[in-house]
Amino acid sequence: MSRARMALGLFLAFLLAAPLVLPEFHVTLLNYIGLYSIVALGLVLLTGIGGLTSFGQAAFVGMGAYTSAYLCTAYGLSPWLTLAIGLALTFAVSLFLGFITLRLSGHYLPLGTIAWGISLFYLFGNMEFLGGYTGISSLPEINLLGRTLDTGREFNYLIWGLVLLALWSMRNLLDSRSGRAIRALKGGGLMAESFGVNTARMKIIIFVYAALLASLSGWLYAHLLRFVNPTPFSINAGIEYLFMAVVGGAASVWGAVVGAGILTVLKQWLQDLLPKLLGQSGNFEMIVFGVLLVLLLQRAREGIMPLAVRYFPAPRKQLPVASRQLQRRSQPVAGEPLLTLNGVRKVFGGLVAVNDLSFSMSSGEILGLIGPNGAGKSTVFNLVTGVLPLTGGEVHFRGTRLDTLSARAIVPHGVARTFQQVHLLPTMSVLENVAIGAHLRGKKGVISAALRLERAEEAMLIADAARQLERVGLAASMHEPAGSLALGQQRVLEIARALCADPVLLLLDEPAAGLRYQEKRALAELLRKLKSEGMSVLLVEHDMDFVMNLVDRLVVMDFGEKLAEGLPRAIQSDPRVLEAYLGGVI
Amino acid sequence: MNTEIALFLIQDGLTNGAIYALLALALVLVFAVTRVIFIPQGEFVAYGALTLASLQLGKLPGTAWLLLGAGLAVAVLELVQALRLGLVRRVPLILLKYLVLPAALLALAWWAAPQKPALTLQVLLALGLVVPLGPMVYRLAYQPLANASVLVLLIISVAVHFAMTGMGLVFFGAEGSRTPSFSDAQWKLGVLNVSGQSLWVMGSSLALILALLLFFEHTIYGKALRATAINRIGARLVGVSPAMAGKLSFTLAALIGALSGILIAPITTIYYDSGFLIGLKGFVGAIVGGLVSYPIAAAGALLVGLLEAYASFWASAYKEVIVFTLIIPVLIWRSFTTHHIEEEEE
């Protein structure tokens, strides 16, 4: 049995036994740790993994707590019904807030969360029907399977049952098609978009998910204490939740429990110690928390979990067995017209980067687009892949106009790309990185992922990723973190990821840049092999040696214009090309 | 509501708005130069007000001890760094700047406080005790992480806010303070009573904004800060040290914060944690300007002040709710007018 399994087993045994044997005070502490863990778990997803920060989670906790408190006491509704209403309300509010802030740059969300965190706190405190600052008391108890949960000891099982459920579903989610898209949000947004991930939608999803977890925690809190007032939902509480997620770190979903545990126990201890030490009463633990967090971010930005993960290594996962293969797109017959650029033009301010460029390529061909530095090759690449909008002209691909589509909408037509500077998620495994390429070939969403209802599809996606790694010769490194590969292998990984999108046309942006001689030869070998399998490739490159023996045809660009077009041999002796590369005749 | 009340509320709103505008300018400045979203700005407001209040009671302000402590921490860090780099000749300057100076200020405050000097001297002393904390906070919390992402720096800011609020409680206690007005003069202007204090506030704010303008336009340090704000790497290549730019912008922010606190202390009672909300109202103004435009930030802050004045008349219990909910229409407006392409961070 692995160390991780053993630790989990011990922890579960502790949770079962704790309410029976621990003194009242410790059971209460354990209850709070559970409540905070649920909120912190949402923040681990939102902040640690998704790279979005919220200081306003306490307001969502309050929304869950107050909805239930008010509806239960004023209308005598069942707590289970009010849970559903509270979650629905939180869903609507967080969807609205997410929609208006997540379109803006990163720091507007946290600032926005601070602002509405404060305004909701004052709203709770000033609404007559919510009991003002004195709050609402005498909430009903929760009835679970015919038992009334009227002591902290019994409630403990409900809380920790839900914590474990939340942890389980979060782990499932992260290990899925949607999970890979979510993990790409931080540092891989552009890459994810060019494989069809709607990153704006993913951000809203994780924001709403975190808000719903907070609301659930609020409902539990309200019925545990059977009393609510505004204080625990203030902005300071929201800040402490974020501290928990940062202290724990995002290396594992357990970071939420570890962070919540450490901060809750530390706070309890400091609240006893500091007032005695300073001879006055007050929230002096704030000082320690603040200083601690600054030091943590300066010294160990990933939190505590990376250390723990090293000590409890997860057992290597077996490749799932797929019952059938992913459906493949019908490939065109060789020689069919594929990509046509017609008078493509791009102007940056006063600079004409691409000046009415036209060329076309047919299927089964490797076409090289070359030119000296600054010729506009990469701009052309970005125009074809939808990263930049065109100033004029048209791009057609198998009868579809591409130049009006965004990067995300181009992938489904069978165009997949690599990046000049590799865009990988270094901590994710090679296999998972490649599987992002297959994003659009799966359909199952977040909910089925969290509940493990998408395993058949997931197995097919992973199997296809493994097959592409086999195809490019990287299968041996499948389970390594992508960041541990050499640059040449990372470039090949990017090709495997593009292949995973089942493309008709592969667009490679300077794949040989920065590679050593041997790596270049291996790459050329791979591209020849792909061509023999019927793949069409458009290659942007400035390394003449690399392309000469590889491509079928060349288009040469200089100063944004097409200089020459033809077979490599003819290009090699073209005086205009020689002049552009080697300088004019004196 | 009659004209008299309406005019009074405008005066009240503009007075508070002038202070929020100052804070908004400081926030835009710090963000432009260092990419730090300076949440602890509010603590400098509270420290400035409470330090002056202590001096007026003839007591030694707690900030004097805090300054010595922060100076000690900075001195240790700087000495370790200097010795590691073998720059022994830097040692005397470090000792002078971070130990001797804070100690001298502590001694001065100790000697001067019981004698209750003239108001101007008290204000200068309060500024002397609070403003050096600005660059020290930068050195301790932000400088080691100067290249981190905006979000990491923001979490640091919130952590610093937490720590500084807690220290405010230790050094000033939980009771609030209100300082006497700078001027008790009242003028009748038609139906409106113009108070000397609000003229003081608006006048000082205007003067400070003009001084900042001159600083940015006509001094080499002001130009260095502007250069850093426009292009960090470019500024560094021509010799503007990012650490210097960071410390300088934090010094200015601390000065503006402490001065705002001193100006607002006679108008409203300041507690150790009041600064947070005041600073955030500056933020709402700064966000109206997208955290980049000085004039729009100042206009936004004036709007916040007016909104607050009218909100406290119509629905005083919901004053804060209304002011902070203003951010939502602003964000909606910004989200439909800016076409943002997500920059890749980290």
The position carrying tokens 């009218």 is B310
Cβ–Cβ under 8 Å, residues B133 and B106: no
Q: Are residues A377 and A494 located together in one domain of the fold?
A: yes
Nearest CA in chain A to B152: A297
Map residue B68 onto helix, strand or coil.
helix
In a domain, A320, yes or no: no
| Residue-wise pLDDT tens digits, B258-307 | 999 999 988 889 999 899 999 999 988 888 877 777 888 888 899 999 99
Closest CA to B159 of A242, A532, A367, A538: A242
CB contact under 8 A, B160 and A290: yes
Q: Residue A211 domain-assigned?
A: yes
**Contact A114/B at CB under 8 A:** yes
CB contact under 8 A, A290 and B159: yes
CB contact under 8 A, B331 and A108: yes
Q: Which residues pair with B186 in a beta bridge?
A: B195
Beta sheet of A536-541, edge-to-edge order: A415-417, A505-509, A536-541, A366-370, A553-558, A561-566
Q: Which amino acid is at B338?
A: T
Residue of B148, B150, B284 lying closest to A106 (CB–CB): B150
Read off the tokens for A437.
């390429």
Contact B127, B48 (CB under 8 A): yes
User: In 3-state terms, what secondary structure has residue B34?
Assistant: helix
Q: Is B339 on the interface with A (CB under 8 A)?
A: no
- Contact flag B156-A293 (C-beta cutoff 8 Å): yes
What would the mean pLDDT of B205-217 be, rounded to a whole number?
87
Q: What percent of chain A has pLDDT over 70?
A: 99
Q: How far is B48 from chain A (nearest CA, A)?
A: 19
| Confidence class for position A1, pLDDT limits 50, 70, 90 | low
Instruction: Find all residues with CB under 8 Å of A312, minimum gap 6, and list them.
Output: A2, A3, A4, A7
Last residue of a domain, one of A225, A242, A269: A269
Binary contact (A291, B163; C-beta < 8 A): yes
Is residue A278 in a domain?
no
Number of domains in chain B: 1
**Looking at the complex, does the CB of residue B337 fall below 8 Å from at least one CB of chain A?**
no
Backbone φ and ψ of A152, nearest 5°: -60, -35
Which residue matches tokens 């019908």?
Answer: A330
Q: Does B316 touch chain A (CB under 8 A)?
A: no
pLDDT of amino acid A313: 76
Residue B343 resides in a domain: no
The enclosing domain of A354 has a CATH number of: 3.40.50.300
Task: Look at A255-259, A539-543, B75-79 and tell me which has the smallest mean pLDDT.
Answer: A539-543
- A-B C-beta contacts closer than 8 Å: 149
Query: Tokens 């460029």 belong to which residue?
Result: A357
Interface residue A291 vs chain B (CB under 8 A): yes
Claim to verify: residue A233 and residue A348 sit in the same structural domain: no
d(CA A73, CA A135): 12
Query: Hey, are the CB atoms on B340 and A105 less than 8 Å from each other?
Result: yes
Chain B contact for A276 (CB, 8 A cutoff): no
Q: Is A241 an interface residue toward B (CB < 8 Å)?
A: no
Residues of chain A in contact with residue B316, where contact means CB-CB under 8 angstroms, are none
A119 closest CB neighbour out of B141, B164, B320: B320
Q: Which of A237, A269, A301 is the last residue of a domain?
A: A269
Domain assignment present for residue B346? The answer is no
Domain range for A108 is 24-269
In-domain check, residue A276: no
Six token digits for residue A389? 């909008």
Which chain A residues are Cβ-neighbours of B160 within 8 angstroms?
290, 294
Q: Which of A361, A56, A73 is nearest to A235 (CA)?
A: A56
- CB-nearest to A100 from B284, B335, B344 is B335
A105 contact B CB<8A: yes
pLDDT tens for each residue of A209-258: 999 999 999 999 999 998 999 989 999 999 999 999 998 887 788 999 99
Binary contact (A105, B343; C-beta < 8 A): yes
The tens digit of pLDDT for each residue in B256-267 reads 999 999 999 888
Alpha-carbon gap: B312 to the closest alpha carbon of chain A (Å): 13
- Which of B277, B327, B334 has the most A C-beta neighbours within 10 Å, making it the best mutation to test the interface with A? B327
Domain count, chain A: 2
Indicate whether A537 belongs to any domain: yes
**A435 lies in the same domain as A541:** yes
B window 145-204, beta carbon within 8 A of A: 145, 148-152, 154-156, 158-167, 169-170, 173-174
A307 in a domain, yes or no? no
The pLDDT of residue B341: 46
Q: Which domain holds residue B201?
A: 3-337
Structure tokens that stand for A45 in this block: 């997803």
Could you tell me if B345 lies within 8 Å of chain A, comparing CB atoms?
yes
Question: What is the overall mean pLDDT for chain B?
Answer: 87
With respect to residue A292, please indicate whether it lies within any of the assigned structural domains. Answer: no
Same domain for A44 and A158: yes
CATH of the domain at A238: 1.10.3470
Residue A283 lies in a domain: no
Report d(CA B234, CA B224) in Å as an integer.
Answer: 11
Specify the pLDDT at position A584: 56
Extended strands (E) in A377-482: 392-397, 400-401, 415-417
B156 contacts in chain A (CB < 8 Å): 293-294, 297
Query: Does residue B37 lie within any of the structural domains?
Result: yes
- Spatial distance between the Cα atoms of A393 and A415, rounded to a whole number of angstroms: 19
Q: Which residues of A fall within a CB distance of 8 Å from B291?
A: 107
Q: Which of A269, A295, A323 is at the close of a domain?
A: A269
Residue A516 clears pLDDT 80, i.e. is over it: yes
Average of per-residue pLDDT values in chain A: 89
B249, pLDDT greater than 90: yes
Q: For position B342, what pLDDT does the model report?
A: 44
Residues A67 and A202 in one domain: yes
